């Protein structure tokens, strides 16, 4: 992969929530510069569910607006960015970003840590990445319990994460949980950069099957996931799809009004 020569991205606002429109190569370059600065911070990957949740959840909206970068992890979110006039806006998924950064970081010896998922998934994830990128430095992983942590547990896990001395901590808790978690702990975990990548641990490890490439290119990966997990995702998409349609139609109408004046 060819990394962009400079961190080219543009910011647009959707109801006060930022979208940093970019390409995968440019996103990797921006991440490399953030790691070099050693100032910490966090990056959110925002799909349609995350965007719609942010419109209705003030705490989640604050987490998104406080991020160093909010990447469009979802074709409809990238479409919204393009409707705002960002011609080159691309979808940047958590799976693609982790693989691209893993490939890039072999040559610069970055230390990676994974936070989230379960032991089976993360063991498979580490084996899969290590088999493809022999010089990838994985410093460790933590699988938090699937419940609210006590204050003592939070302190212990932060201590463990800091002990890894990670350049990047990849967070796979799902949105909005991972975005709120990163905002809460980013200061304590400096200088590590936190990147929330949702279900990427499952997809790369093979725990869950990702949509075929042709569906991804058509922007229909969400439909594949819905058909794969209707019980878990049915209620979510019943709210998300109409909301995203409204946002896209409203933005298209706004642009039409602007052009006809």
Residue 67 lies in a domain: yes
Give the percent of the chain with pLDDT over 70.
93
Inter-axis angle of helices 75-83 and 221-228, nearest 10 = 150
Average pLDDT, the chain: 87
How many domains in the chain? 2
Same domain? 143 vs 176: yes
Same domain? 170 vs 209: yes
Residue 3 lies in a domain: no
Same domain? 222 vs 104: no
199-222 in b/e burial notation, b at 16+ Cβ within 10 A?
Answer: bbbbbbbebeebbeeeebeeeebb
In contact, 195 and 172? CB cutoff 8 Å:
no
Same domain? 18 vs 90: yes
Same domain? 46 vs 83: yes
Same domain? 175 vs 223: no
Same domain? 210 vs 227: no
Residue 76 lies in a domain: yes
3-state secondary structure (DSSP) of residue 201: helix
Question: Structural domain of residue 220, as residue ranges?
Answer: 215-256
- pLDDT higher at 115 or 83: 115
Residue 51 lies in a domain: yes
| pLDDT value at residue 204 | 94
Same domain? 107 vs 225: no
Which pLDDT band holds residue 10 (cuts at 50, 70, 90)?
Answer: confident
Same domain? 95 vs 148: yes
Cα separation, 102 vs 125, whole angstroms: 12
Q: Write down the pTM of the prediction.
A: 0.89
Single out the residue of 117, 116, 93, 113 nearest to residue 105, CA to CA. 113
Residue 4 lies in a domain: no
Same domain? 194 vs 103: yes
Residue 244 lies in a domain: yes
Which pLDDT band holds residue 4 (cuts at 50, 70, 90)?
Answer: very low
Same domain? 159 vs 121: yes
Neighbours of 65 (CB within 10 A): 15
Which pLDDT band holds residue 5 (cuts at 50, 70, 90)?
Answer: very low
| pLDDT value at residue 214 | 76
3-state secondary structure (DSSP) of residue 122: helix
Q: What is the CA radius of gyration of the chain?
A: 18
What is the domain-level CATH number for residue 170?
3.40.50
Same domain? 104 vs 39: yes
């Amino acid at each position: 992969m060819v990394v962009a020569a400079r961190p080219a991205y543009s910011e647009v606002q959707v109801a006060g929530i930022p979208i940093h429109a970019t390409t995968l190569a440019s996103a990797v370059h921006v991440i490399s510069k953030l790691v070099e600065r050693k100032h910490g911070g966090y990056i959110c990957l925002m799909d349609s569910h995350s965007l719609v949740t942010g419109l209705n959840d003030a705490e989640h909206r604050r987490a998104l607006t406080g991020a160093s970068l909010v990447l469009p992890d979802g074709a409809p979110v990238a479409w919204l960015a393009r409707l705002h006039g960002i011609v080159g806006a691309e979808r940047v998924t958590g799976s693609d970003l982790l693989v691209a950064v893993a490939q890039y970081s072999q040559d610069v010896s970055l230390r990676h840590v994974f936070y989230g998922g379960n032991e089976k998934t993360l063991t498979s994830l580490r084996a899969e990445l290590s088999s493809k990128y022999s010089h990838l430095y994985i410093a460790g992983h933590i699988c938090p319990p699937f419940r609210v942590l006590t204050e003592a547990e939070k302190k212990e896990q932060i201590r463990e994460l800091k002990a890894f001395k990670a350049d990047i901590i990849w967070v796979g808790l799902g949105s909005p949980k991972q975005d709120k978690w990163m905002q809460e702990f980013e200061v304590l975990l400096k200088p590590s950069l936190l990147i929330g990548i949702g279900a990427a641990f499952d997809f790369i490890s093979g725990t869950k099957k990702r949509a075929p490439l042709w569906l991804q290119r058509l922007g229909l990966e969400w439909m594949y996931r819905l058909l794969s997990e209707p019980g878990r995702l049915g209620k979510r998409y019943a709210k998300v799809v109409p909301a995203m349609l409204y946002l896209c139609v409203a933005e298209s109408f706004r642009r039409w009004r602007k052009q006809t004046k």
